[in-house]
Structure 1
């Protein structure tokens, strides 16, 4: 019989009134009085190991970073801004290879955060490849579902998206965000090479909206 089995057979208080209450020190001592010193030490060590294993999986260490190296954390998401330029399709695949997707902009706050970090033009996860004029994010949400859009508006000319087809006969079916043009979205030919933004969620609740790597 191992000491855990022996412990279960020890004399213990059985007063039903005390079952749901924390036991006093004297009661705890009585429960382990039938164990040898060695067995008590083994029991304490086992309890310590179990407690540490629980902490390991539930509490991130103080040095915990929600995003891996090269990614920036903000409001429950990790973002990475590419340094290389690819087509929209290649960018989408590169994000997927990192267990991420092209960025989905769901608020003015998120748009402002992304553009505060960079001064270039990037592919985002928005296209009307399936149906012209029906813009859908890579997670299949529509613009009406996310509730925000930041297309560039022109005073005397057609605003974005304008599906310009002079350079590409198939038109402009993929969207980018541009810091240079008043922090707005533009439709572009999907084959044009641009930098891109990937995003993915991180596991633990965010501790600081501005936390970053």
Structure 2
């Protein structure tokens, strides 16, 4: 008669079936692990969404704005290379400044905030050479508009006196107003470069004062980064 023999540890002899409880525990172990992993993952996702939706969106947006690619060219002085001059990718460099021309329109106040958000400011024009560069840059932008205006960082927005956004002193002799401008100063207190398509005459005296809530393109400026 075959007799089932148990060893001292309570296990069955070889060739006999394992108890039902032992088979059940072995079968459940992988599923317990998967369920635990899924619960941990769900918890992390939930925490992330809560943080993202309650206050971190602004930080995330700022991070995206600051994650900028830079384009660099050699910085040469007296025939010797002295490092690199860098501008954000997509910006145009002239002398020691970088310039960005927008592809959508805003009011003057919104334009100020937009440029500031990119670590720059609405352009401040200090010389005829800079004005010529910006005018040619603006003319080279293709639009379907009969005329196009680009906000610059000059306004009489607060006290009726023309002021640059970076507090550069306003000198009428160093300005480039169109003939007859500025006018209607009681209402039109913001300045813009005024371009009539690519056929605009080759004149650089093209500033126009306009209503500050007018939707215009804008030109932002920041200093070249030396590395």
Deviations 1:114-167 (A, max 9, x none): 1111224200000011222x21100112322x85101111xxxxx111126xxx
Instruction: Identify the residue that residue 139 of structure 1 maps to in structure 2.
Output: 166
**Structure 2 residue 121 is matched with structure 1 residue 101:** yes
Distance of 1:117 and 1:128 partners within structure 2: 25
Q: 2:194 aligns with which of 153, 161, 178?
A: 178
Instruction: Select the structure with the greater relative contact order (CA < 8 A; seq sep ≥ 6).
Output: 1
Question: Would the aligned equivalents of 2:87 and 2:225 in 1 still touch at CA under 8 Å?
Answer: no
Number of the residue aligned with 1:161: 182
Give a deviation string over 1:90-118, Cα, whole Å, max 9, x none: 11100000000000000000000011112
Instruction: Name structure 2 gaps, 5 residues minimum.
Output: 1-81, 140-147
Corresponding residue number in structure 2 for 1:76: 96
Match of residue 198 from structure 1: 220
Q: The residue matched to 1:79 in structure 2 has which SS? A: strand
1:177/1:185 contact within 8 Å kept: yes
Distance, in Å, in 2 between the alignment partners of 1:82 and 1:186 is 18
Paired with 1:65 and 1:140, the residues of 2 have a C-alpha distance of 25
Give the structure with the higher percent strand.
Answer: 2
Contact 1:101 1:138 in 2 (8 A): yes
Task: Specify whether residues 147 and 76 from structure 1 end up closer, same or farther in structure 2 by C-alpha distance, changes over 3 A only.
Answer: farther
Partner Cα distance (2:154, 2:138) in 1: 19
Q: How many residues align?
A: 133
Equivalent residues of 1:106, 1:147 under 8 A apart? no
TM-score, reference length from structure 1: 0.57
Q: Give TM-score scaled by structure 2 length.
A: 0.54
RMSD over aligned Cα, in angstroms? 2.2
Q: Say which of 158, 170, 183 aligns to 1:130.
A: 158
Q: Secondary structure at the match of 2:174?
A: coil
Task: Work out which of the residue numbers 152, 159, 164 in structure 1 matches 2:178.
Answer: 152
Q: 1:203 Cα shift?
A: 2.3
- Report the CA distance between 1:65 and its aligned residue: 5.8
Distance of 1:113 and 1:69 partners within structure 2: 19
